[in-house]
């Protein structure tokens, strides 16, 4: 059975305090590792797709990396507007399995 586990469940940072979110996955035949951002009352918004170990993607203050067992979402010098729930999902040949998310709060 495909499994995706995210940690921590919640993270509070001061503005400018860099950190990383973790996503561990076990899927049969990984076809893609996806990161999404979800704001309250909204659907998840696509951020990145990673396909192979060693791959990295960047967007503004966010950088996603991938190994054979986990992915990290690094947040550099976060701002309050980065506050959201960050979801990762691993796609196999059958479906996309989501983690429970990390709720990030960035305090001014």
Angle made by CA atoms 69, 71, 76, in degrees to the nearest 5: 155
Q: Which is nearer to another protein, 67 or 95 (CB)?
A: 95
| Binding of residue 79 to another protein (CB under 8 A) | no
Contacting another protein (CB under 8 A), which of 33, 64, 66, 89? 89
Q: Give the chain's end-to-end CA distance (angstroms, integer).
A: 41
Q: Which of 59, 69, 79, 94 binds another protein (CB under 8 A)?
A: 94
For residue 12, the cross-strand partners are 105
Q: How many residues belong to the site for another protein (CB under 8 A)?
A: 23
Q: Which of 31, 59, 69, 79 binds another protein (CB under 8 A)?
A: 31
Binding stretches for another protein (CB under 8 A) = 4, 31-32, 34, 36, 41-46, 49, 87, 89, 91, 94-101
């Amino acid at each position: 059975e495909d499994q995706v586990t995210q940690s921590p469940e919640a993270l509070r940072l001061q503005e400018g305090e860099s950190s990383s979110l973790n996503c561990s996955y076990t899927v049969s035949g990984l076809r893609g590792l996806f990161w999404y951002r979800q704001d309250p009352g909204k659907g998840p918004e696509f951020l990145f797709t990673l396909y192979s170990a060693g791959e990295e993607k960047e967007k503004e203050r966010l950088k996603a990396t991938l190994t054979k067992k986990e992915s990290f979402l690094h947040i550099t010098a976060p701002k309050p507007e980065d506050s959201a729930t960050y979801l990762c999902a691993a796609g196999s040949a059958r479906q996309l399995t989501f983690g429970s998310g990390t709720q990030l709060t960035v305090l001014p």
